[in-house]
Chain A
Amino acid sequence: EVQVVQSGAELKKPGESLKISCEASGYAFNSYWIGWVRQMPGKGLEWMGMIYAGDSDTRYSPSFQGQVTFSVDKSISAAYVQWSSLKASDTGIYYCVRLDALHSGLLRAFDFWGQGTSVTVSS
C-alpha cells in the first residue's frame, strides 16, 4: 500500500530556517518524482515544483525558485523542502505528492498526497 506521511506542524519566527519532510512507502521511491504544493490559508493550490528521487533532478516553479530547496534521502525514502529564512508570507499548508508515470515516460497524474504540513510564520 502506497503511503506518504509528512512531518508535523511548525510554528516559526520570521528569519528562521525550516526543513519539513515527506516519507514514502509501498512503492519504488527512487523511480518517481515527488511534487510540492502550497496552500495558503483559505486559498487554492500552488505548484511549487518537484524532484526526481532517483537522481535529485529538480524543477522549480519560477514563483518559488530561490525561495525553497528540495532534496531527498533515498536511504530512508524521504523528500524534503527547506527554507533558509522564513517570511510571514510562507505561512500555509505544504503538501508532498507522488507523480505517477508509466515506464514509457507517459505521465499519469499526481496521485498519492501526504496529509500536509502546516507552517505558521509569526513574530
Chain B
Amino acid sequence: DIVMTQSPDSLAVSLGERATINCKSSQSVFKRSSDKYYLAWFQQKPGQPPKLLFYWASTRESGVSDRFSGSGSGTDFTLTISSLQAEDVAVYYCHQYHTIPYTFGQGTRLEIK
C-alpha cells in the first residue's frame, strides 16, 4: 500500500498568517500515461463530510478560495493557506488515488492561535 504521511499532525496559526501542511507519499503517485499526480487534498469540518479542495496535486476545485494553493512533485506535496481565516479551522487530508488500495494521510488539525 502507498503510505501517505502528513506533517505536522496539528498546527496553530494566527488569523491572517500563512499555514502550510505537508504530505509525503511512500511511492510515486505520478501517472505517466496522463502526466498527472493523482494526489488530492480534502478539508473536513466537524460534523461534515470531507470537501475536495485540490486534485492532480495543484488544480483547485471550483468554488475553493484562492487563499488555498496546492503544490508539489515527486513524493512531496504541500497545501498552503496564504492568510488564515476563522472558517479554515478544520482537519485536512491528503489522498492518493494512483494505486489501489487508495489511501489517505492521517490528517492535520488546523486551529487558530
Contacts and interface: CB of A to CB of B under 8 A. Distances in A.
Contact of B107 (A44, A49, A97, A106): A44
Contacts of B52: 109-111
Interface centre among B1, B34, B55, B102 (most CB of A within 10 A): B102
A35 B40 CA distance: 15
Contacts of A74: none
Interface of A is mostly: strand
B30 interface: no
Given A109-B55, A110-B52, A110-B95, A45 B101 contact: no
A108 B55 contact: yes
B97 interface: yes
A113 B101 CA distance: 19
Interface residues of A, number: 25
Contact of B102 (A47, A104, A108): A47
A62 interface: yes
Contacts of B40: 109-110
A61 B56 CA distance: 22
A114 B49 contact: yes
Nearest to B36: A106
Given A44-B106, A106-B36, A109-B40, A49 B50 contact: no
Nearest to B34: A106
B61 A62 contact: no
A113 B45 CA distance: 13
A109 B1 CA distance: 19
A63 B91 CA distance: 24
Contacts of B77: none
Contacts of A108: 55-56
Interface string A39-50: 000001111010
Interface of A: 35, 37, 44-47, 49, 59, 61-63, 95, 97, 99, 104, 106-111, 113-116
Interface of B: 1, 34, 36, 38, 40, 42, 44, 49-52, 55-56, 61, 91, 93, 95, 97, 100-107
